[in-house]
Amino acid sequence: ATTEIYTLSLHDALPIYYFIEGPDGRLRITPGISPENFTPIGLVASDTAFDLAVARETFTVLASLGKQFGSPGTDIERWQKILESLPEYRVNEDGALAEWLTPRFKDVYNHRHSSHLYGLFPGFELRGPDADPRLLPAVREAVARRLAFDTPSGHGLIHLALMAARIRDSEEVLLQLDRLSRRRYFHAGFVSSHDRDLLCYNLDASLSLPRVLMEALVFSVPGRIELMPAWHERLGAEGRISGILAAGGFTLDLEWRNGKLAGVAIAARRDGETAVIYGDRRRKVSLKAGETIRLDADLQAKD
């Protein structure tokens, strides 16, 4: 049986994206793609971890927003059923999160794309507080095997740095940014090149570099704010940044010295509460709209 859920189409009469119900009742995603990685049958295959991660995020968001904004119950039930029918991620023989859900296709680690780790970045499924603990070692192994190789592309280095930030690996964040800074990826106007030595105009690195620094300084999801999870002292031993927007409607002004947190001011734009985490320290913060709390390096309130 073929279940058409949503369709991406080049022409009204040519749907090209389907979920197909397999014999086990799970939905298979076909056709699918893991960018630039070829399988023995070509570039287009099926059941990629990339597609699965995007599908899981899409229907999780739909179900959540549907409840929040009063969508019809039948729609919410349908989205939830699709979510529950999606296949599981696969862990390969190396103990890494696999790029394809079928063991017929082998992982290629020496590659600039990390799209099968979408659930780690830019998604949150494999990084948030509700991440499946059984998958976390496989996620770290997949990132480590990608990080073991270099890449000539500026956006590839940025992507690796973002992955490293999400697993709190400040040394790897520093390594990727060091490579980026030494190889002439940037023109004088800070416009970036796709390849080193300014060989190909491309804005990917220019537009993504600020995100790496933000991710190293603050990671947040609703109900959770982590301070300086992947900041390396060599990125700036002392500094201050204001106006960081965090999940839950909070704005942060952050200050650090000797590569460590010196203090943070958290302002609420609406009523809310969140856990603030720095290393092994944790504090629950509850604020009304317009209120601000200032915390020191031990997350203790200060005047």
Using the structure block, give the residue that is written with the tokens 């279940």: 3
pLDDT computed for residue 241 by the predictor:
96
pLDDT for res 137: 95
Angle between helix 154-166 and helix 204-217 axes, rounded to 10 deg: 10
Cα distance between residue 278 and residue 292, in whole Å:
18
Between CA 169 and CA 283 the distance in angstroms is: 23
Dist. CA 161–CA 175, nearest whole Å: 8
Do the beta carbons of residue 128 and residue 119 sit within 8 Å?
no
Cα distance between residue 256 and residue 194, in whole Å: 33
Residue type at position 148: A
Q: What phi and psi, each to the nearest 5 degrees, are found at residue 62?
A: -60, -45
Residues of the chain with confidence (pLDDT) below 70: 1-17
Helix (H), strand (E) at residue 155: helix 154-166
**β-pairing verdict for 14-15 and 239-246:** unpaired
Q: What is the pLDDT of residue 3?
A: 47
pLDDT at 18: 73
CA-based torsion, 269, 271, 277, 282: positive or negative: positive
